[in-house]
């Protein structure tokens, strides 16, 4: 195809513009918000609840709990630990995990209602401290990934905020509650409370 130079130049500009626009959909880094405190990276043993030890936890979170891997801790209770996701997809992106080894949402039963409620409450407490306005505006996502679409085989709830500032593909893709791979914390609580399995799908493998 032969194009006069001007047309070629404008074609290139348009194409490159389109490409960079498309690329930004896949850009993994969130907008930086300087209002969020950067918590220090620490390696420490996180005292487990009585009767629990970390030797039966093969996941990377077991290493974090046992003090073999560092993390940026936001909050800790007897039963739970909250720390920054190592590859944040929102200005504030924490994981809340039980110290007890629970593999995934598929391992949850109606006995775990209090646990998942406490996980949710810890997520909301973090938002109240770090992003009070986003909490008021309900501009956040509290969710679990559903195996095999989970990254670590240890139950973890994602806390992402402000959701409105997340990359489109993250908000509407990976962290889209109600998709086959992602479920909201509220749904998990409601289903367990009514005696159902935590998610409405059977395990693929």
Which residues are catalytically annotated?
156
CA atoms within 13 A on the CB side of 26: 4
Strand-pairing partners, residue 142, are 159
Element (H, E) at 141: strand 141-145
Of the pair 93, 145, the CB lying nearest Zn ion is at 145
Q: Is 145 in the site for Zn ion (CB under 5 A)?
A: yes
Of the candidates 116, 105, 104, the one whose C-alpha atom is nearest the C-alpha of residue 80 is 116
Q: Which of 191, 188, 160, 185 is nearest to 174 (CA)?
A: 160
Beta bridge partners of 114: none
Q: Shortest approach of Zn ion to residue 120 CB, angstroms?
A: 15
Residue 153 CB, nearest distance to Zn ion (Å)?
11
Question: Per-residue contact track with Zn ion, 93 to 132, x per CB under 5 A?
Answer: ----------------------------------------
Say how far apart CA 167 and CA 29 lie, in whole Å. Answer: 8
89 lies in the site for Zn ion, by CB under 5 A:
no
Q: Which stretch binds Zn ion (CB under 5 A): 51-59, 106-114, 115-123, 140-148?
A: 140-148
Cα angle 161-102-192, degrees, rounded to a multiple of 5: 75
Stretch that binds Zn ion, among 9-17, 28-36, 43-51, 137-145 (CB under 5 A): 137-145
Closer CB to Zn ion, 96 or 135, in the complex: 96
Nearest distance from C-beta of residue 150 to Zn ion, angstroms = 5
Residue nearest to Zn ion (CB): 145
- Interface residues with Zn ion (CB under 5 A) are 145
């Amino acid at each position: 195809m032969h194009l006069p130079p001007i047309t070629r130049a404008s074609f290139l500009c348009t194409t490159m513009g389109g490409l960079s626009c498309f690329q930004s959909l896949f850009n993994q880094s969130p907008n930086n918000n300087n209002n969020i405190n950067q918590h220090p990276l620490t390696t420490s043993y996180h005292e487990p609840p009585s009767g629990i030890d970390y030797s039966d936890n093969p996941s990377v979170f077991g290493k974090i709990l046992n003090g073999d891997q560092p993390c940026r801790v936001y909050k800790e209770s007897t039963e739970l630990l909250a720390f920054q996701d190592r590859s944040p997809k929102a200005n504030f992106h924490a994981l809340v995990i039980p110290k007890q080894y629970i593999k995934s949402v598929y391992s949850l039963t109606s006995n775990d209602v209090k646990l998942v409620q406490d996980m949710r409450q810890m997520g909301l407490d973090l938002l109240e401290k770090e992003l009070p306005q986003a909490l008021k505006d309900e501009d956040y996502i509290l969710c679990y990934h559903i195996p095999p679409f989970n990254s670590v085989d240890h139950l973890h709830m994602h806390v992402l905020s402000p959701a409105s500032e997340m990359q489109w593909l993250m908000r509407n893709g990976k962290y889209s509650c109600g998709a086959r791979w992602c479920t909201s914390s509220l749904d998990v609580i409601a289903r367990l409370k009514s005696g159902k399995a935590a998610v409405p799908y059977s395990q693929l493998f």
